[in-house]
C-alpha cells in the first residue's frame, strides 16, 4: 500500500471537549472521492503501519510524542511525508520554522511547479500554521493581503516532504457547509445578491467573500473560480509529486467511467405545478435527448398523475422538493416531521418509483447538519440544496464542482453523513442568472472533473429565451464530452467507486470491490521509471493534474497486467 493517514481519535475528543473545530478526518473523504486507496493509523499503530506504506499524511498539527516523531523521521529517509495545518513538531523535516497560527487567508502561486499548476482561484482558506521557510525549501504558495501576513508561506516543498500550512480539510468543510444558519446572511454590498430577504436559505450560511472571491462575467458578479476544487487539486498534486520522488506508481480511479472528463446535471423544481408548463418543460428536455431530475413539490395545485408517471416512465428521476416556506399547508414547516410527511406523500403517489434525491423549496435551510440527518433517516441519498438564490451569487458559491459528503462537528463524533451533496451553480438562465455564465462554469467543471448542475423551473419555460438557454447549456456540455446524468445516477456511481481498493505489485494491478463497477477508468502514476517500451496492451499514457499517468478502462473488480516499475 502507498498512502497512510494518521488520525488519533483522542485528539478529536480533546478538540470536542475544548469546543475547538477538528475536521482532520475529512481528509479521508477527499482521498476517497479522488479514488485513492488509503489506510489509517493511530498513535499506537503508527510505527508498525509505516513499514508497509510509502507516503504518510498528517492531516492536522498532531501532538506527536518523541517516539512517533523519531519513527516518522526514519520513515522519511525512504518514504515521503505530507503535512497539513502544521508540522506536528517536525519543523526540520519540512524545512520551516513554526511561528504561530494562521487566521483567514488568501493564497497566490509564487513558484512554478506541477503542484501549483492549474490554480485559478483566490485560494481563500482558514486556520493552520504560520511558518517561515528555511534555506533550501521551495515556497510554492504564499499568503497575499494584509501588511503583516503578506508573503507568509502556505505551501512548502522540501526533499521527500510537503507542508500545506492552511487547515485544508477544515477549509473545505467551512466553504462547503458554511456556518450554521439562524439569521439572514450579509448581502452583497453592490446590491447584486440581497440574501437578507427574511427567508433562511443555504446561501445565508455561505462564507466566501463578496469582493475577494467574485469575478464579473458579462457585467454580472459571480463566483467564477472553484476555490474548493483548487484546494482539492493542490492536495492531490502534492501526493503525486511525492510519489514520483520516491518512485511509487500510485494507482487511483478517475472520477467517471469510460474516461468521461466530467458530467452535468439538469434539475427542475416544479413550483406551482402548472400542467401546461410541466409538459412544455418535459418536451424541451426530451427534445435535447437527456434525462433530468424532477423535484416535485406537494401543493394544492397538482399535476395530473399522467405527468408524474410519464416523467418516471421516460427515465427521468423523481425527487422530492421539500417545502418549508409556502403557506399552502399548515405543516409546511422546517422540521423533520414535515419533511417526513412530504416524503411519504411523494412515495405514496409513485409507490413503484425509488425516490432517493431532494432539493428544498427556496433552498430553505436552518441550522447546520440537521437537515442532512433528516434526509439520511428517510433514505435520501443525494441532496441538491447548496446553491445560490440570487443573480449575484451564482457559480461556485460553495467552493466547487465536486460532489461531497458532509461531516458532523467533533461534538457529534466527526461522522460523515450518508447524503451526497451536489452543488447547484445557477437557477433559470435568462430569468435569474446571466446566460453568459453557463459556458465558463461548464468549462471549469470539465477542467476539474466535477458535476455542472443547473436548475430550470417549469414555471419559466415559456418565457422568451429560457428554453433556448437550457438547450444551449445542454449542447455546450455535450460538446465538451460531458454527458447529462440524474442526481441518483451520480450518487450510485460515486458510492460504487468508493468501494474499490487498488494496489500495484508483482506485475499486476489488483482491484477489489464489494460489487461490480463497469467501465471504470483506472489511472497509475508514471514515476518515470516504468518500462514504457513494453507496457501491456490496453494501457495508454495520459496527463491528469499536470502529471503523467497510465490509463485503462476496465470492469472492476479484477486484475490487470501492469509492467511498470515497482509492479
For residue range 159-182, list pLDDT tens digits in order.
Answer: 999 999 999 999 999 999 999 999
> What is the reported pLDDT for 567?
43
From 330, 217, 311, 329, select the one nearest 266 (Cα to Cα).
311
According to DSSP, the β-strands at 129-133 and 3-6 are unpaired
> What is the reported pLDDT for 451?
98
Would you say residue 510 has pLDDT above 80? yes
The percent of residues above 90 in pLDDT, for the chain, comes to 92
Q: Which of 122-126, 129-133, 188-192, 331-335 comes out lowest in average pLDDT?
A: 331-335
Question: Could you tell me if 407 and 417 are in contact, meaning their C-beta atoms sit under 8 angstroms apart?
Answer: yes
- CA–CA dist 53, 3 (Å, integer): 6
Indicate the DSSP class of residue 218: T
- CA–CA dist 498, 327 (Å, integer): 41
Confidence of residue 67 (pLDDT cuts 50, 70, 90): very high
For residue range 446-469, list pLDDT tens digits in order.
Answer: 999 999 999 999 999 999 999 999
Q: Which of 168-172, 213-217, 345-349, 531-535 comes out lowest in average pLDDT?
A: 531-535
Q: At 84, list the grid cell.
A: 497539513
> What is the reported pLDDT for 214?
98
From 282, 272, 277, select the one nearest 323 (Cα to Cα).
272
Would you say residue 537 has pLDDT above 80? no
Better-scored residue on pLDDT, 149 or 328: 328
Q: Measured between alpha carbons, how far is residue 78 from residues 25, 54, 68 in Å? A: 26, 8, 16
Domains by residue range for the chain, with CATH: 3-173+227-253 (3.40.50.880), 260-494 (3.20.20.370), 499-561 (no CATH)
> What is the reported pLDDT for 565?
42
- CA–CA dist 484, 502 (Å, integer): 28
> What is the reported pLDDT for 235?
98
β-bridge partners, 453: 265
For residue range 419-438, list pLDDT tens digits in order.
Answer: 999 999 999 999 999 999 99
Confidence of residue 146 (pLDDT cuts 50, 70, 90): low
For residue range 205-223, list pLDDT tens digits in order.
Answer: 999 999 999 999 999 999 9
For residue range 250-301, list pLDDT tens digits in order.
Answer: 999 999 999 999 999 999 999 999 999 999 999 999 999 999 999 999 999 8
Classify the C-alpha dihedral 9-81-171-336 as positive or negative. Answer: negative
Amino acid at each position: 500500500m502507498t498512502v497512510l493517514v494518521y488520525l488519533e481519535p483522542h485528539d478529536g475528543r480533546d478538540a470536542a471537549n475544548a469546543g475547538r473545530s477538528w475536521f482532520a478526518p475529512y481528509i479521508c473523504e477527499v482521498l476517497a472521492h479522488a479514488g485513492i486507496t488509503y489506510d489509517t493509523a493511530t498513535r499506537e499503530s503508527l510505527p508498525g503501519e509505516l513499514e508497509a506504506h510509502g507516503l504518510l499524511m498528517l492531516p492536522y498539527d498532531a501532538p506527536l510524542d518523541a517516539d512517533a516523531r523519531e519513527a516518522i523521521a526514519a520513515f522519511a529517509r525512504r518514504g515521503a511525508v505530507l503535512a497539513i495545518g502544521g508540522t506536528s513538531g517536525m519543523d526540520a523535516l519540512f524545512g520551516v520554522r513554526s511561528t504561530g497560527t494562521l487566521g483567514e487567508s488568501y493564497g497566490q502561486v509564487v513558484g512554478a511547479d506541477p503542484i501549483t499548476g492549474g490554480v485559478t482561484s483566490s485560494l481563500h482558506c482558514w486556520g493552520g500554521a504560520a511558518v517561515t521557510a528555511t534555506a533550501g525549501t521551495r515556497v510554492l504558495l504564499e499568503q497575499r493581503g494584509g501588511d503583516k501576513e503578506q508573503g507568509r508561506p502556505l505551501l512548502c516543498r522540501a526533499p521527500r516532504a510537503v507542508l500545506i500550512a492552511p487547515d485544508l480539510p477544515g477549509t473545505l468543510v467551512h466553504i462547503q457547509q458554511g456556518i450554521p444558519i439562524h439569521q439572514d446572511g450579509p448581502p452583497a454590498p453592490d446590491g447584486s445578491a440581497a440574501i437578507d430577504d427574511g427567508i433562511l436559505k443555504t446561501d445565508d450560511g455561505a462564507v466566501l467573500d463578496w469582493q475577494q472571491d467574485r469575478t464579473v462575467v458579462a457585467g454580472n458578479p459571480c463566483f467564477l473560480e472553484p476555490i474548493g476544487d483548487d484546494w482539492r487539486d493542490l492536495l492531490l498534486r502534492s501526493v503525486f509529486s511525492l510519489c514520483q520522488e520516491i518512485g511509487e506508481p500510485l494507482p487511483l480511479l478517475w472520477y467517471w467511467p469510460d474516461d468521461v472528463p466530467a458530467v452535468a446535471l439538469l434539475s427542475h423544481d416544479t413550483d406551482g405545478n402548472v400542467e401546461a408548463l410541466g409538459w412544455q418543460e418535459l418536451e424541451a428536455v426530451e427534445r435535447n435527448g437527456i434525462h433530468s431530475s424532477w423535484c416535485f413539490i406537494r401543493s394544492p395545485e397538482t399535476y395530473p398523475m399522467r405527468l408524474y408517471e410519464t416523467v418516471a416512465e421516460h427515465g427521468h428521476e423523481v425527487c422530492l422538493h421539500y417545502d418549508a416556506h409556502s403557506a399552502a399547508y399548515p405543516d409546511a414547516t422546517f422540521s423533520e416531521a414535515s419533511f417526513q410527511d412530504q416524503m411519504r406523500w411523494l412515495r405514496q403517489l409513485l409507490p413503484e418509483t425509488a425516490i432517493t434525491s431532494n432539493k428544498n423549496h427556496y433552498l430553505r435551510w436552518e441550522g447546520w447538519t440537521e437537515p442532512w440527518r433528516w434526509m439520511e433517516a428517510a433514505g435520501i441519498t443525494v441532496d441538491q440544496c447548496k446553491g445560490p438564490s440570487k443573480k449575484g451569487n451564482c457559480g461556485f458559491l460553495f467552493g466547487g464542482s465536486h460532489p461531497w459528503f458532509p461531516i458532523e462537528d467533533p461534538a457529534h463524533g466527526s461522522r460523515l453523513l450518508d447524503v451526497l451533496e451536489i452543488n447547484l451553480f445557477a437557477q433559470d438562465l435568462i430569468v435569474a442568472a446571466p446566460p453568459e455564465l453557463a459556458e465558463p462554469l461548464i468549462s471549469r467543471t470539465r477542467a476539474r472533473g466535477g458535476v455542472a448542475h443547473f436548475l430550470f423551473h417549469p414555471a419559466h419555460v415559456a418565457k422568451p429565451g429560457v428554453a433556448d438557454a437550457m438547450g444551449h447549456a445542454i449542447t455546450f456540455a455535450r460538446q465538451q464530452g460531458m454527458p447529462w446524468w440524474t442526481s441518483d445516477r451520480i450518487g450510485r456511481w460515486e458510492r460504487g467507486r468508493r468501494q474499490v481498493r487498488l494496489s500495484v505489485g508483482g506485475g499486476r494491478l489488483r482491484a477489489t470491490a464489494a460489487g461490480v463497477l463497469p467501465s471504470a477508468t483506472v489511472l497509475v502514476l508514471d514515476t518515470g521509471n516504468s518500462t514504457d517500451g513494453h507496457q501491456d496492451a490496453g494501457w495508454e499514457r495520459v496527463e491528469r493534474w499536470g502529471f503523467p499517468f497510465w490509463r485503462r478502462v476496465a470492469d472492476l473488480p479484477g486484475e490487470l497486467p501492469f509492467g511498470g516499475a515497482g509492479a
